[in-house]
Amino acid sequence: MRIVIAVAVAVVAVASSTAHAQADEPSLLFAAGRYAAAAEIFERRWETRGDAVDGVNAVVSWRTAGRYARAASLLVRVRAGKVPPAGEAAETAASLDERLGTLTAIATIKGKLARDAVIRVDDDPAERAGDTIILDVGEHDIAIDQESCKPFVWHTVAHPGERIEVPFAPVCDEAGTLHVYLAGDRSSPFEVDGKPYRTTDREADVKLGPGTHALRVASRSRLVLDEPVTIRSHETTALRVRYPWRAHRFGWILAITGSARAGGVMNGLGLALTTGVWGSRFRATVDLGSVMSDTDSLAPPGHPWFGVTAAVHLTTRPLWTGRLGSHRLALDIDPLAARFDQVREASYFGIRTDDFETRVSTWSFVPITLSADGPYVHVEVTLWPISVLTYKGGDVDLVGVSDPFFEEHGYGAFLTILGGWRR
């Protein structure tokens, strides 16, 4: 041991003889027995200048101060520096390496260690050499702190030259957050991976582990959403879910409706503004627009049209559901539904001074509806397969006929296409 110290003092002397007067300070501190103070100055000077002699002198000082782990970890860095020790300094470094190996032990962390993990040995920062920790011989508490993980503390006894494995098993909270806004009732149910949840004021936050989870939203037996969502660790995934019209308890309809009619009495195309109310169990709408047809007295350019629809949804569960891009599709049939339409020659609702106005009235039943709900628009294509039409008209120029009107009845079908904004 004295031989190593003697060599170290000689190296210190060499360093001191080639430096300025202020550089003698760590040598004087070492000679005065203030080894740790000398070590700090030597180490700072090595980090600033990169002189390997300063680095070796710092190692000698830490070792002499009894800080063997600190000396060993610094020696690894000095020997791997840009200017490695050479000559007498290299011989001293080799001797120190051999000696420090009998005064320290090496610990290796076994487990998933984050880059920002803080490792402490007896409340002091761990002396590390690459992926290993250098310990002084004796008893130690090794503590590891990682963000979002419970503190880990492990007690060990280090023997000279021993290699120790630290069984690090972090218990961490890697969860992210799923934030949902359900545009239904204020308190709406939903499921994540089959587990039920409920919103408060239409919103909810659910803590979930990283990965893909199954989100399912249904309202009054009607599927609103059933698709996977990806959650990232410590991040919030926000999702706004818009409800189909039939999944709402109550609401207002404001839309545009187009129609195509075919039958023995009347063929034509129409366009109307639609308004009304809807709910999960009922629907009532009014259409006001114009129809172009090939019927006598109702030929182009167009004639007033109004329609009234009333439906009771016996079941809210669709016959079929599907997807088309960002749109959710559903096929429904409403056995308990009726629609009345009337196309007149020149007036709405029969408000006209002429008593001989040509008109076609239609009663329709059992609609089959294919709906598409996208991010902003609700579209419904409805086939009314059972339509009973009544034509009232005649030749008002007939002479001697008290009632020139006559009626003609027929059957047909017509298609309506409704598109409207939905919240």
* 176-242 against 251-421: fold identical: no
pTM given for the model? 0.58
What pLDDT shows up at residue 179?
A: 97
Domain residue spans of the chain: 2-100, 106-167, 176-242, 251-421
Residue 175 has pLDDT above 50, yes or no: yes
| Cβ-Cβ contacts under 8 Å for 419 (sequence gap 6 or more) | 255, 256, 257, 377, 378, 379, 380
Mean pLDDT confidence for 341-358: 75
- Strands in 78-162 per DSSP E: 104-110, 118-121, 124-125, 127-129, 132-136, 138-145, 152-158
Give tens-digit pLDDT for 270-281. 999 999 998 888
Q: Are 343 and 359 in contact (CB under 8 A)?
A: yes
Residue that wins the pLDDT comparison between 404 and 336: 336
CB count in 10 Å sphere of residue 320: 9
Q: Using CA atoms, how far apart are residues 197 and 187, in angstroms rounded to an integer? A: 10
Q: Using CA atoms, how far apart are residues 30 and 14, in angstroms rounded to an integer? A: 14
Q: Are 178 and 190 in contact (CB under 8 A)?
A: no
Residue 408 has pLDDT above 90, yes or no: no
Closest CA to 148 of 178, 174, 114: 174
Mean pLDDT confidence for 317-338: 89
Q: Using CA atoms, how far apart are residues 51 and 110, in angstroms rounded to an integer? A: 35
Give tens-digit pLDDT for 37-93. 999 999 999 999 989 999 999 999 999 999 999 999 999 999 988 888 999 999 999
| Average pLDDT value over all residues in the chain | 86
Give just the sign of the alpha carbon dihedral 40, 46, 51, 56: positive
CB count in 10 Å sphere of residue 329: 15
Residue 20 has pLDDT above 60, yes or no: no
Percent of the chain with pLDDT over 90: 53
What is the spatial order of strands in the sheet that 203-208 belongs to?
Answer: 203-208, 176-182, 236-241
Q: Are 36 and 62 in contact (CB under 8 A)?
A: yes
Residue 243 DSSP one-character state: P
Give tens-digit pLDDT for 113-167. 888 889 999 989 999 888 899 999 999 999 999 888 889 999 999 999 999 999 9
| Cβ-Cβ contacts under 8 Å for 164 (sequence gap 6 or more) | 105, 106, 107, 108, 135, 156, 158
Tokens coding 271: 């366009």
What pLDDT shows up at residue 315?
A: 83
| Cβ-Cβ contacts under 8 Å for 87 (sequence gap 6 or more) | none
Q: Are 204 and 195 in contact (CB under 8 A)?
A: no
Orientation angle between helical segments 52-64 and 88-100, nearest 10 degrees: 30
Q: What is the residue-wise DSSP string for 212-225?
A: EEEEEEEETTEEEE
Alpha helix segments (H runs only) across 18-83: 25-31, 35-49, 52-64, 68-79
Give tens-digit pLDDT for 292-308. 988 877 888 889 999 99
Mean pLDDT confidence for 216-234: 89
Mean pLDDT confidence for 244-259: 84
Q: Domain 176-242: give its CATH architecture.
A: Sandwich (2.60)
CATH 1.10.10 at 251-421, yes or no: no
Q: Using CA atoms, how far apart are residues 192 and 24, in angstroms rounded to an integer? A: 70
What pLDDT shows up at residue 355?
A: 63
Q: Using CA atoms, how far apart are residues 166 and 275, in angstroms rounded to an integer? A: 71
